[in-house]
Structure formats: structure tokens, C-alpha cells
Amino acid sequence: MKYFALCICLALSTLQAQNNYNSESFKVTRADIESTGFINDSTANALVIYEVGDSYVDNSSYRLNTTIKRKLKILNRNGFEHGTVAIYLYNNNNGRKEKIEDINATVYNIVNEKVVKTTLEKSSIFEEHYNENYTIVKFALPNLKIGSVITYSYTVETPFMHKYKSWYFQDKIPKLHSEYNASIPGNWEYNIKLVGANKLATKYSTIEKNCLQISNGANSSCGIYKYIMKDIPAFINEDFMTTQLNYLSRIEYELKVFRGFDGTIENITKTWKTTDKEIEKDTDLGKQLRRTGIVKKLLKDSITTETDELTKAKKILKYMQKEYTWNKNLNVLQNVSIKDLITEKSGNVGEINALLYNLLITNNIDAKPILLSTRRNGFITRLYPVISDFNYLIIKVNIQGETYLLDATDDYLTFGQIPFRCLNSYGRLLDFDSKSEWYSIHIKDYSAKIFRYNLDFDETKTLKGKVNYSSKGYHSLYDRERYFSNIETYKNDYINKYSTIAFSNFNTKDTHKTSEDFNLDFQIEHAPDEVGNTIYINPYVFKFFDKNPFQLQERSYPIDFGYKDTYTYGIQINIDNTFDIKSIPEPTSLALPNNKGSFICSVKQEEHTITIYFKLTFKEAIYEPIYYDGLKKLLEEVINTQNNSLIVVEKKQ
């Protein structure tokens, strides 16, 4: 009993040591330094105990000032990276730039039972050029140790009021308290956007009169805002997601209206209707989408005289893929010139797909351009126009009642297929004659990977036979890109990955660069594991998954595959009759809630022939976080089946 009570006391003291942080102020307490871990996240390398940002317009300079204070705990050696701070300062090449002031930093340690403070020397603050628009101010905290507590503060002054200071509540390490206070003069009216799944603990606003004054006696009231978020988990990137900027908890501002003290009003953020007109008339892209005259003599008569509309559209796309090369530049609204593309045979995405659009409409094919944002670029803000959100262009065509999305930047794309980077939920369909609208980018067809093989296990204890691998959709695109860019490398990838298997007679059939399916045949020989007189045959010679991609305890953002997906095995193994079959794998099945996905595996034995059918299906392209545990368990079952399903045989005596 005494031993049990001692264990309880030790456990409670450990919990107290991990949770006794002062998360209500910037002041460092002894408990902050003595605390040894973070019970809510044992994997955390560091912890923000407290941070606060205060943004306000200075009454003398009329510039936006933001003072940031942060208190941070180093939990292990991997957390030392958080002892180096980098602040990016923007300039617009016209003499206007941000600047930083009042940098102060201190490291707190306990040495010989005493709190020891080490302050940052001004000589340890460095400035370096990053690019034409950014300078970085860096400093590294001195005397860092495991268990150190860091505090630092600084003020950034900016003349760029169109973009009020964003505040990130969430980062790659957990935070106990993150607070942002904003004072916004009534002259500036912003669209305010809260991003992310984490909820605010405090959201408060009021009005302060006469907060901003100018020399002629005019003044403005301010909106005073307080936002507090507590116990914020670290944001951890995992497979099958778009950019983390779509999900990091933060507040962002976009200037909507500016009201001058002289009574002038400038509407900065327009309506989507106004923005659509601006895209048409004021951007390079809008002008290039009307260059039908320059393209009329580009195509051969064999294309322009084609009577079947679908065949003609396919020929136009193939012409674009063959004649023009994408330079990997994502320019889409500005610096777009079809004339330059035609001359140089290489251009940015706006030029290539604008030319495709003009060729289609001049040949009487119903086509519309769609502006979108790529997966890495983030979601488009649909509530109000932010034209800089767009960085890509694709073309939608309607032919004989069917809709196809086209992109000519990649010569491996099949007709009706767009690059994976474009699968980002929705885009803006431009219709300059009628009305532009939002367009859902949804891939209705499944992508697939399929292994089919018929193998013989003969008296030499060797598994041998013919294997067929095929893929469809986006898997086919990836296979064709790898195969046709270097056939030998593609073959060697198999040989190197499966070193215990002998491969021969690689052959593709009915496959070319833009075919919808990829089909590969080859022969294999493989000696299964043998222990004494017992032989263990794993029928899953080739694995779809080496490990479970889902490792988090929980996930707060969607699982975004981009497309619906299936993985299938069709396996037949013929065991020589000189062996006794002792056991075969058990069948299994598992389904996601609401029938959103499934895994089935059936196993049958007829005399000395074993047949296995395995199918994993993801019925959705995007799953909400509530399905994360189900997906994790589904993949665990799949990997367990691949790795531990055995046909056990023994040589007859």
C-alpha cells in the first residue's frame, strides 16, 4: 500500500512538473524553468508558454506598429532551433519598407539552484538580404540548454496599411496562450478572416473614440479587438493534404475600404462582378483570351477540317502538347503573351492555356477559361476578391453533352485530365459575355492500381510466373511519366526495391505517352522463406503500401487524396502436388463509417490452387477529419494483410 501511494505521489509530481507553467503573462516564473515536459504532447521539442501581439497605428508616424512578445520553453535538443529567430521585413523597391526596433531577448536557466539570466547582445543581431522584396533580421539566443526558458520581444513598423498584420495562433510547436490585440482606425475597413479548426477562447471588440489624430484637428475612432486562443496543438504536416496555409489557425486582414480625412472614399476590395471585369479588361490574360486573329493559321488543314468535334478537340490538344513547352512559370494574369509563346515555343501556364483556349474557340468548340489556385498555393478566398490568390489557368470544354477539363502544360496528360496540382476544390470560370461563376473541380472517375498474377510454386521451391501490373487515372499518369522519361530507370526501380526477386521480359502493351491506362507485363522468380521442412509463401509479392501514412494521434485538417482511388490484387498461386498445404490466409473485410471506403480480401482454395481477391477502395477524394481514425485503422489492416498473410506448405515425405 505504501509503495502504491508513493507511485501515485510520484506520478502527480511528474504531472505537476509538466503543467505548472505561467501561461497568463510574459513574466518568467521559477516553475516555468523547472517544468520538465508537456503532458499534452510528449513529442513536442519546444513549447510556447505565452505570446502576445499588439498592433496599432502610431499617432505621429501614421504607420502600423506591431509589438510581439513571446515566452518559450526548450524541451529537448531538437528544440534548440527555436532559439534562433528570423523576422522578414518587406520593401516595395520604391523606398517604402518595414523596419524593426527594440529587439530584446533573455535566456533563463537554473544553475546551482539559482535562476541565471543571459541577455542577447546587440552585436548578435544580424541583417541579411533575402530577395529583392525581403530582408531578414536574425538573432540566436545565447546559453541555450535543455529546459531553458526564452523570452524575446520586438516592434515592427510598416507603412503598408493595405495588409494589416496577420497573426498566427498555430505553429509547428504547441502553444498554451496566444493573444492578439488590434486597434484599427475607422479610416481603414478590412475584411477579417479567421482560418483553421481551433476555436477562440476569447473574442472581444469595442470602440475607442479619438484614437487617431492628425495635425489639422481631424480624428478617427478605432475598433479595438482582442483574440485569445489557448492550448493550441502543434500543426504537423502529414501526407494527403494541400498547403498548411489552408489550415493553420490564424487571423488575416484584407483592406476593403479606405476613407480619407478629406471625405474621399476608395473601395479597395471590389465585388466579384467588378473583379471579373477587371480581369477581362485590365490584365494581360484578359487581353490574350481575345487573340483569335493571331492563331488562325497555326493549325494544319487535317485538324481544322475535322468534322467530329471531339476528335478535333483532341487533335488541338495534341498539337499544343507537341509544339509548346511549359517553362514551369506560374504567371497567369500578368506577363502573358501568346505572341511570345508562338515565337519562342516555350511559355508560362497563362500563355500556353490561353493559346489552347483561342485555338478551341476559333474552331467552334465551346470552351471557357477557369482561373484557379494550385494545391501548394492555397484555397481561393471566395467571400471577397483577392486577385493574387489565382496562379493557374485551365480550360473547360463542352462537347456533345460531356464536360472535359484541359491543360496543355504536360505532354503526358490524357484528354480530359488536368495535373494533380490543380485538384484544389474549385476555380473561377470566366464568362466575359455572360456571368462568371465558381466551378467545382471534381474528378468523377476512380484512379486505380491493379496487380494480376498467376504463379506456380514448383518442386524446386521457387515461385515463378507472369505478372501484369496496370494503372488508371492519376496512377497511370505517374507511371507513364516515369516509364517514358527513362525506361531502364523504371525497370531498375522494381529490381532494386525487390532485391530477392529475379525479373525478366518487361513489356508494355497498348501504352503510349497519353494513353488512359498503363499496362506492364513481366516474369518473376522468387524463393519464399523456408524454415526446416516448412515453407512460408507471402502471396503479396508486391506491396501497395510500405507503411501506414497516417501516424498522428488526431488530425484537425482534411485528408485530401485529390481523387477517388482503388487498389486491387487478383492472385492465383498453383502449388505443386508434391507439397501439402497446411494453412492459407484468413479472409478479412473492413469498412469506413457511412460506407465511405472499404477493404475486402477473399481467399479460396480448390485442391492445390489458391485464389485471392483483394480490393481497397477510397470512395471520396477528400475526407473530413472525423474519418481519420477510420482511415488509419483501414490502412493498418491493409498493411497487416500484405505483410502477414502466409500460405504455409510442407514437402511431402
How does pLDDT run across 374-419, given as a tens digit for each residue? 999 999 999 888 888 999 999 999 999 999 999 999 999 999 999 9
CB count within 10 Å of CB 164 equals 22
What was the pLDDT predicted at 597? Answer: 97
pLDDT above 80 (res 321): yes
User: Grid coordinates 524463393 are at which residue?
Assistant: 527
Interval 402-413: pLDDT, tens = 999 999 999 999
What was the pLDDT predicted at 8? Answer: 44
Confidence of residue 219 (pLDDT cuts 50, 70, 90): confident
Average pLDDT over residues 355-368: 97
Between helices 473-485 and 487-497, what is the axis angle to 10°?
110
Per-residue H/E/C for 19-40 = HCCCCCCCCCCHHHHHCCCCCC
Query: Which residues have C-beta within 8 Å of that of residue 433, sequence separation ≥ 6?
Result: none
Residue 499 corresponds to which cell in the numbers above? 532485391
What was the pLDDT predicted at 13? Answer: 43
What was the pLDDT predicted at 11? Answer: 43
Say if CB 284 and CB 337 are below 8 A apart.
Answer: yes
Phi, psi at 281, each rounded to 5°: -100, -30
Report the SS3 class of residue 643. Answer: helix
**Is this structure's pTM higher than 0.95?**
no
Residue 304 corresponds to which cell in the numbers above? 481544322
Residue 220 corresponds to which cell in the numbers above? 478617427
Work out the mean pLDDT of the chain and round it to a whole number. Answer: 93
Give the bridge partners for 611, in sequence order.
572, 604
Average pLDDT over residues 281-301: 92
The type of residue at 604 is K
Using CA atoms of 15, 18, 20, 26 in order, give the dihedral in degrees to the nearest 10. -170
* Torsion 173-174-175-178 (CA) sign: positive
Average pLDDT over residues 178-202: 94
Q: Which of 77-81, 180-184, 258-262 has the lowest mean pLDDT?
A: 258-262
Average pLDDT over residues 610-619: 98
pLDDT greater at residue 14 or residue 577:
577
Average pLDDT over residues 432-443: 92
What was the pLDDT predicted at 18? Answer: 53
Average pLDDT over residues 164-171: 96
Interval 83-131: pLDDT, tens = 999 999 999 878 899 999 999 999 999 999 999 999 999 999 999 999 9
Separation CA 104–CA 154 (nearest Å): 6
pLDDT above 80 (res 509): yes
Residue 365 corresponds to which cell in the numbers above? 468548340
- Nearest-Å Rg of the Cα atoms of the chain is 31
Domain definitions of the chain by residue range: 19-265, 272-440, 447-651
Separation CA 407–CA 397 (nearest Å): 11
User: Grid coordinates 501556364 are at which residue?
Assistant: 349
CA dist 564 to 238, 373, 392, 570, 596, Å? 19, 21, 23, 20, 11
Strands 265-267 and 346-347: unpaired
What was the pLDDT predicted at 9? Answer: 44
Q: Does domain 272-440 have CATH number 1.10.3470?
A: no
DSSP 336-379: --HHHHHHHSEE-HHHHHHHHHHHHHHTT-EEEEEEE--TTT--
Confidence of residue 19 (pLDDT cuts 50, 70, 90): low
Domain 447-651 in this protein, CATH class: mainly beta
User: Grid coordinates 492500381 are at which residue?
Assistant: 449
What was the pLDDT predicted at 218? Answer: 81
DSSP state of 620: -
Residue 554 corresponds to which cell in the numbers above? 488526431
Say if CB 221 and CB 228 are below 8 A apart.
Answer: no
Query: Which residues have C-beta within 8 Å of that of residue 581, sequence separation ≥ 6?
Result: 575, 605, 608, 610, 647, 648, 649
Looking at the domain 19-265, which fold is it?
A: Immunoglobulin-like (2.60.40)
Average pLDDT over residues 356-379: 96
Phi, psi at 133, each rounded to 5°: -115, -5
Q: How open is the CA angle 526-528-533, to the nearest 5 degrees?
A: 140
User: Grid coordinates 492519376 are at which residue?
Assistant: 474
Separation CA 361–CA 358 (nearest Å): 5
DSSP state of 562: S
pLDDT above 70 (res 16): no
